[in-house]
Amino acid sequence: YYCGKLDWSPAKGLMFMYNPKNGDGRITGSAASLLGLETALEQKNDKIIDYAIAKILMMHGIILTYGGIPMIYAGDEIATLNDYSYEQNQEHINDNRWVNRPIQNWDVVSKIEKDIKSAPSIVYNGLKDMIRIRKEHSVFADTNDLKVHGCPNEHIFVFERTNKNETIWVLSNFNEVTEMINVGWLLSIGIHTGKKSIDLLSGKTLELIRNELPLKPYEQLWIKNI
């Protein structure tokens, strides 16, 4: 195998490995690095750090709600970054999959409950909260009840999970700016607004701005009518 690195914005942590014998290629890297946290921390840019954390939680939110058996790769629960120490090991240097096979950082783990504003703590506690909510709602069981909605706002991914007891809609904004959805479209797929619905992640009702629902950059909502 030939292993080469590519710079890729916003995630410096993207790694690419190419096999010239069969044309096969793969991208490797930890979720946190691929979603921009590594670069943001190096730049000490608080806004980009917040965006990266939001992306990490949004993507795990989709994994936890879309269907099937969710998987959290070792280290992703504490926003582990790429580990480039494998390049010093002659047995691993030509296989960049080792970049996201790090030794557990127990120092980070020990600070999770203390440094609640750190990226590892925010991701860890955010995932714990999403897992708790998932366990409380049987609609997220894998019973082939998924419906994807074609949202008129191309930046927002919308799907619905339904069983005989309840319906929950998951909305995810993939853009780095606030995006809006018209209330008419929300009503057309069954979502109520105001005090008639709630976002399970925040515990807040859906408040509109001039008949539109705003989603902040990389924000995700788990909506249930009440």
- 54-81 per-position pLDDT tens digit: 999 999 999 999 998 899 998 999 999 9
Q: Which of 88, 107, 136 finishes a domain?
A: 136
Angle between helices 119-136 and 46-65 in degrees, nearest 10: 20
Q: 117 and 214: one domain? A: no
Q: Which of 84, 111, 136 finishes a domain?
A: 136
Residue type present at position 12: K
Positions of the chain with pLDDT lower than 70, given as ranges: 1-19, 24-25
Buried (b) or exposed (e) across 74-86, using 16+ Cβ within 10 A?
A: ebbbbbbbbbeeb
Concatenated DSSP letters of 153-221: STTEEEEEEE-SS-EEEEEEE-SSS-EEEEHHHHHHTT---EEEEEETTTTEEE--BTTEEEE-TT-EE
* Segment 79-96, tens digit of pLDDT: 999 888 888 888 888 777
Structural domain boundaries enclosing 57: 2-136
Task: Identify which of 95, 57, 100 has the alpha carbon closest to the alpha carbon of residue 82.
Answer: 100
CA distance 79 to 58: 13
**Torsion (CA) 109, 113, 115, 121 in degrees, nearest 10:** 70
Angle at 129 between CA 125 and CA 133, to 5 degrees: 170
Q: What is the pLDDT of residue 15?
A: 58
Q: 171 and 205: one domain? A: yes
Q: 113 and 124: one domain? A: yes
CB contact at 8 A, 132 and 126: no
Q: What is the pLDDT of residue 6?
A: 34
Q: 162 and 113: one domain? A: no
- Kind and range of the H or E element at 110? helix 106-110
CA distance 198 to 74: 32
How many domains is the chain partitioned into structurally? 2
Q: What is the pLDDT of residue 99?
A: 85
Q: 176 and 200: one domain? A: yes
CB contact at 8 A, 72 and 52: no
